[in-house]
């Protein structure tokens, strides 16, 4: 029972890191970035290729899995994304889906269609058992790392000056600009953080989902969107609670009622959209 | 205007006629439709390499005809498969269609084959009912009942009494589940639970936790070969092996092509299948050596041998018809054909057009530092039990 709960929390945390970047771009910057999964794929590839081809140790690849997608994110933000900040949601959707459709064949061409596996070091594999409750070491590791990320992100956005500036810039870019906030720079940094988090999520997820392949960006697109829908898109905490709720329900559902377990997250989404369209954990007005 | 246009059309028609006549004269075109890109790309790669190796070894001329192999990529999309099948027959005058990485793809081409009276050789897809969908379908891969029923018989004889099945929820998975559990229950065993996992859900953790808490003697598994790695890893990480639960299944889960990537967690898995790269025969040793040499050391899997035997079937049929490449003549020649494949002796059942072959029970072991499916028991001349039950 507790094993299932812990598994669910670990899965939820993983969903959180994968989707948290999206709640930065979608929730804070109001930009519908469906290409989010492509950045996650890049992060996963960075880790898998550094490990398999260059022999780098797993932990050392993680900063790279954050940085490379972040740099890529800034480059794309400066050249492409910024043109669409004020555009209609449909334009943003079309543009980012286009990016996904380009990212997948590029990955297939450069790296190949076969999934690239991440082979965890010995100290991260295996399982520990305490009072009959077993949990995989790697799942515990995911819970820890993701917990730290969630806390850091929340502090970053709520407590720091940068966070306040970002929120101001999103609320009213012109006034923020007038007050001397460099909106351009703020957006670029926020976008980089969002992309980097996606990359890190991809790297951490690679082992659990059976390797990274070119279809990764679409495979998890729906899941990302469900997390943001259920959690509410404005704020990191919404995404965190949404992810945890979905993770636990998904794992428990598959365990207790395997025949319908896979559909539970969709049911949760449908109910959420009917009862609280702004998201379960969003502030009342839904902005 | 009108006369100029009709003149052009006539000239074009004549050119086309000439082109088709040339193609028909001395060349037999084999249209191979495979997923060369996308998640099933490894199937396409292996199949193609198998077919090409056969041509390389046996020359590209048989019974006075030149063999031309045309490979097309359907990226696992059934509508594309169908269009490519039509194009291959219409434009390239293909005498034989071959390949088909997944069941829906084989089914998509079936009406095209029937209408054009062109043999469709299925060298990969493995749902049992495929060959019933067109009288022109012949199969050189295997069927899931063919591998699953012998697995159940082996389990019954080896002290396994309680089993949980986990299969991917689509045609072949349902086939595997049905034939394993029916055979196992008929023999007095208990199937405690039948779990179907979504095809596109690679997280097996909760399902395996459930299996662990059921505490069966063994878990029978069928997942498409690409998902074997993640399944095995989770199986070991969750401690099912230490809990004394055996892993049994069809050979898809310990695919030769992916075994190295799965790693040591595969050790000890017992599977029933028609081909292992470790199969001990002079034909197979030669096949594996030539295949690895031609493909940068890539180890052949059951897909490669399916493609290789598909080509073997066409060559032998052409020899029998003395070069007559018309669909009905080839089909008649293929029925009842028997030959020695790298996997062992095989034949085509004349009634069902289904391959009859040995099924081997194998265990994953380490040999010279590499993992192999080492065969230790043989069930000879297994016919597809699904069709045998009907006749």
Q: What residue ranges in chain B does DSSP mark as E strands? A: 27-34, 61-62, 65-73, 94-99, 120-122, 137-139, 162-168, 190-197, 218-222, 246-250, 270-273, 338-341, 344-348, 355-367, 370-382
**Token digits of residue A229:** 């829908």
CB contact under 8 A, A119 and B263: yes
Q: What is the mean pLDDT of chain B?
A: 89
Q: What is the pTM of this model?
A: 0.81
Please tell me the distance from the alpha carbon of residue A212 to that of residue B226, in angstroms, as a whole number: 12
| Closest residue by Cα to residue A208 from B44, B230, B384 | B230
The count of other CB atoms within 10 Å of the CB of residue A242 is: 30
Of the candidates A255, A30, A248, A214, the residue with the CA atom closest to the CA atom of residue A114 = A214
Mean pLDDT of B265-279: 93
Considering only CB atoms, A117 lies closest to which of B201, B238, B261, namely B261
- pLDDT tens, position by position, B227-264: 888 888 889 888 888 889 999 999 999 999 888 888 88
pLDDT given at position B11 = 59
Quote the pLDDT of residue B5.
59
Residue B136: what pLDDT? 95
Residue A32 to residue B52: CA distance in whole angstroms: 47
**Could you give the CA distance from residue B384 to residue B391 in angstroms, rounded to a whole number?**
11
| Cβ pair A157, A168 in contact under 8 A | no
For residues A85 and A31, is the Cβ–Cβ distance under 8 A?
yes
Q: Per DSSP, what are the bridge partners of residue B250? A: B272
d(CA B229, CA A117): 9
Spatial distance between the Cα atoms of B83 and B71, rounded to a whole number of angstroms: 14
- Put simply, the answer to whether B201 touches A262 (Cβ < 8 Å) is yes
| Cα–Cα distance for residue pair A35/A205, rounded to 1 Å | 17
Cβ neighbours for B118, distance < 8 A, ≥ 6 positions apart:
B89, B94, B95, B96, B97, B112, B136, B327
CB under 8 Å to B190, separation ≥6 — which residues? B161, B162, B163
CA distance B255 to chain A (A): 14
* For residues B52-77, average pLDDT: 93
Interface-testing mutation among B35, B196, B203, B223, with chain A (most A C-beta atoms within 10 A): B203
Which residues in chain A have their CB less than 8 angstroms from residue B229's CB? 115, 117, 210-211
Higher pLDDT, residue B303 or A26: B303
Residue B219 DSSP SS3: strand
Q: What SS3 state is found at B37?
A: coil
CA nearest neighbour of B151 among B125, B188, B177 = B177
What is the per-residue pLDDT for B237?
83
Enumerate the residues of chain B whose CB falls inside 8 A of the CB of residue A210.
Answer: 202, 226-227, 229-230
* Residue with the larger pLDDT of the pair B304 and A52: B304
Does the CA dihedral A17-A23-A29-A30 come out positive or negative?
A: positive
At A30 the pLDDT is 78
Question: What's the pLDDT at B21?
Answer: 43
The tens-digit pLDDT sequence of chain A (287 residues) is 788 888 889 889 888 888 888 887 777 777 888 898 999 999 999 999 999 888 888 899 999 999 999 999 999 999 988 888 878 889 999 999 999 999 999 998 898 887 888 888 888 877 777 776 778 888 889 999 999 988 988 888 888 888 888 888 877 878 888 888 888 888 888 889 889 999 999 999 888 887 888 888 888 888 888 888 888 766 778 888 888 999 999 888 888 887 787 788 888 888 888 888 877 776 644 43
Contacting residues of B for A211, CB less than 8 Å apart: 229-230
Give the strands of the sheet with B137-139, arranged side by side: B61-62, B65-73, B27-34, B94-99, B120-122, B137-139
For chain B, give me the number of helices (H) and strands (E)? 13, 15
Q: What domains sit in chain B, N to C, each tagged with a CATH number?
A: 2-142+282-353 (3.40.50.2300), 145-273+359-390 (3.40.50.2300)
Secondary structure letter of residue B140 according to DSSP: S
Do A30 and A271 meet the contact criterion of CB atoms below 8 Å apart? no
| Residues facing B346 on adjacent strands | B339, B357
| Interface residue of A210, A217, A249 to substitute, partner B, most B CBs within 10 Å | A210
∠ CA A8-A11-A14, rounded to 5°: 150
Find the residue in B nearest to A138 (Cα). B237
Q: Which is more confidently placed, B275 or A239?
A: B275
Residue B391 confidence (pLDDT): 66
The whole-angstrom separation of Cα B205 and Cα B196 is 13
In chain A, residues with a C-beta closer than 8 Å to the C-beta of B164 are: none
Residue B202 has pLDDT above 70, yes or no: no
Predicted confidence (pLDDT) at residue B185 exceeds the cutoff of 70: yes
Q: Which residues in chain A belong to E strands, given as ranges? A: 127-130, 133-136
pLDDT for B22: 46
Q: Give B68→chain A minimum CA distance, Å.
A: 27
Burial class (CB in 10 A: 0-12, 13-18, 19+), B53: buried
Q: What is the pLDDT of residues B352-380, one digit of tens each?
A: 999 999 999 999 999 888 999 999 999 99
Residue B137: count other Cβ atoms within 10 Å of its Cβ. 25
Token pair listed for B298: 């890539």
Distance CA A189, CA A29 (A): 11
Do residues A193 and A32 make contact, with C-beta atoms less than 8 angstroms apart? Answer: no
User: Residues, chain A, total?
Assistant: 287
Closest CA to B357 of B135, B124, B122, B146: B146
B98-124 pLDDT per residue, tens: 999 999 999 999 999 999 999 999 999
Tell me the ipTM for this assembly. 0.74
Q: What does each C-alpha distance from A183 to A81, A92, A174, B61, B320 come to in angstroms?
A: 14, 20, 9, 71, 78
- Among B80, B170, B165, CA closest to B125: B170
Looking at residue B343, what DSSP letter applies?
A: T
Share of chain B above pLDDT 70, in %: 93
- In chain A, the N- to C-terminal Cα span, in Å, equals 38
| Helix residue spans in chain A (DSSP H) | 2-22, 36-54, 58-79, 89-110, 137-158, 161-171, 173-178, 183-205, 216-219, 221-231, 236-256, 264-275
Beta-carbon pairs below 8 A across chains A and B: 74
Please check whether residue B355 is in contact with residue B243, taking contact to mean a CB–CB distance below 8 angstroms: no
Cα B66 to Cα B26: distance, rounded to the nearest angstrom: 6
Q: What pLDDT, on the 0 to 100 scale, is given for residue A268?
A: 86
Shortest Cα distance, chain B CAs vs residue A260, angstroms? 10
Rg (C-alpha) for chain A, rounded Å, is 19
* Confidence at B7, pLDDT banded by 50, 70, 90: low
**Domain residue limits, chain A:** 7-214
- In this structure, chain B runs to a length of 391
CA distance B183 to B152: 6
**Residue B9's pLDDT band (cuts 50, 70, 90):** low
The pLDDT assigned to A286 comes to: 40
Question: From CA B129, how far away is CA A117, in angstroms rounded?
Answer: 34
Give the least confident one: B107-116, B195-204, B332-341.
B195-204
CB A193 within 8 A of CB A72: no
CA B210 to the chain's CA centroid: 31
């Amino acid at each position: 029972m507790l094993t299932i709960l812990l598994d669910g929390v670990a899965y939820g945390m993983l969903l959180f890191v994968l989707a948290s970047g999206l709640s930065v771009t979608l929730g804070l910057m109001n930009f519908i970035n469906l290409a989010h999964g492509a950045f996650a794929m890049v992060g996963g590839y960075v880790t898998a290729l550094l490990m398999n081809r260059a022999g780098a140790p797993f932990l050392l690849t993680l900063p790279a899995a954050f940085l490379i997608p972040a740099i890529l994110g800034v480059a794309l933000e400066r050249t492409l994304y910024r043109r669409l900040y004020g555009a209609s949601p449909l334009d943003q959707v079309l543009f980012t889906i286009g990016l996904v459709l380009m990212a997948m064949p590029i990955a297939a061409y450069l790296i190949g269609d076969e999934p690239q596996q991440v082979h965890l070091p010995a100290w991260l594999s295996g399982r520990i058992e305490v009072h009959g409750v077993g949990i995989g070491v790697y799942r515990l590791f995911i819970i820890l790392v993701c917990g730290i990320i969630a806390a850091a992100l929340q502090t970053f956005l709520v407590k720091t000056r940068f966070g306040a500036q970002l929120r101001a810039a999103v609320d009213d870019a012109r006034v923020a600009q007038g007050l001397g906030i460099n909106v351009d720079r703020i957006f670029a940094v926020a976008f980089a953080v969002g992309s980097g988090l996606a990359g890190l999520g991809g790297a951490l997820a690679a082992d659990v989902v059976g390797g990274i392949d070119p279809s990764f960006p679409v495979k998890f697109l729906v899941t990302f969107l469900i997390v943001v829908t259920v959690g509410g898109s404005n704020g990191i905490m919404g995404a965190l609670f949404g992810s945890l709720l979905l993770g636990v329900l998904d794992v428990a559902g598959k365990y207790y009622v395997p025949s319908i377990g896979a559909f539970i997250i969709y049911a949760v989404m449908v109910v959420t959209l009917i009862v609280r369209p702004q998201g379960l954990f969003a502030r009342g007005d839904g902005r | 205007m009108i006369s100029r246009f009709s003149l052009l059309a006539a000239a074009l028609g004549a050119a086309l006629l000439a082109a088709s006549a040339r193609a028909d004269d001395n060349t037999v075109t084999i249209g191979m439709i495979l997923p060369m890109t996308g998640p099933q790309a490894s199937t396409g790669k292996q199949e193609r390499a198998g077919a090409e190796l056969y041509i390389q070894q046996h020359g590209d001329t048989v019974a006075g005809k030149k063999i031309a192999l045309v490979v097309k990529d359907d990226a696992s999309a059934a509508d594309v498969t169908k269009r490519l099948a039509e194009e291959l027959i219409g434009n390239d005058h293909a005498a034989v269609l071959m390949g088909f990485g997944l069941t829906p793809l084989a089914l998509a081409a079936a009406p095209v084959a029937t209408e054009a009276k062109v043999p469709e050789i299925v060298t990969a897809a493995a749902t049992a009912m495929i060959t019933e969908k067109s009288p022109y379908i012949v199969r050189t891969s295997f069927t899931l009942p063919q591998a699953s029923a012998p697995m159940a018989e082996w389990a019954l004889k080896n002290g396994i009494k309680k089993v949980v099945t986990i299969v991917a929820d689509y045609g072949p998975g349902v086939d595997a589940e049905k034939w394993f559990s029916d055979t196992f229950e008929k023999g007095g065993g208990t199937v405690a639970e039948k779990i179907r996992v979504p095809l596109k859900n690679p997280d097996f953790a909760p399902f395996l936790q459930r299996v662990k808490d059921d505490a069966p003697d063994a878990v029978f598994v069928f997942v498409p070969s690409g998902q074997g790695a993640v399944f095995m890893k989770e199986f070991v990480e969750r401690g099912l092996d230490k809990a004394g639960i055996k892993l049994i299944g069809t050979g898809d889960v310990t695919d030769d092509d992916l075994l190295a990537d799965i790693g040591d967690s595969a050790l000890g898995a017992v599977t029933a299948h028609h081909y292992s790269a470790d199969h001990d025969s002079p034909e197979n040793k030669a096949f594996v050596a030539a295949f690895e040499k031609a493909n940068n050391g890539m180890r052949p899997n059951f897909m490669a041998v399916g493609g290789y035997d598909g080509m073997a079937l066409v060559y032998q049929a052409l020899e029998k018809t003395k070069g007559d490449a018309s669909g009905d003549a080839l089909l008649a020649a293929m029925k009842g054909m028997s030959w020695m494949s790298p996997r062992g002796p095989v034949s085509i059942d004349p009634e069902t057009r289904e391959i009859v072959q040995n099924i081997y029970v194998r265990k994953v072991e380490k040999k010279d530092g590499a993992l192999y499916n080492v065969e230790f028991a043989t069930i000879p001349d297994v016919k597809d039990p699904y069709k045998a039950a009907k006749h």
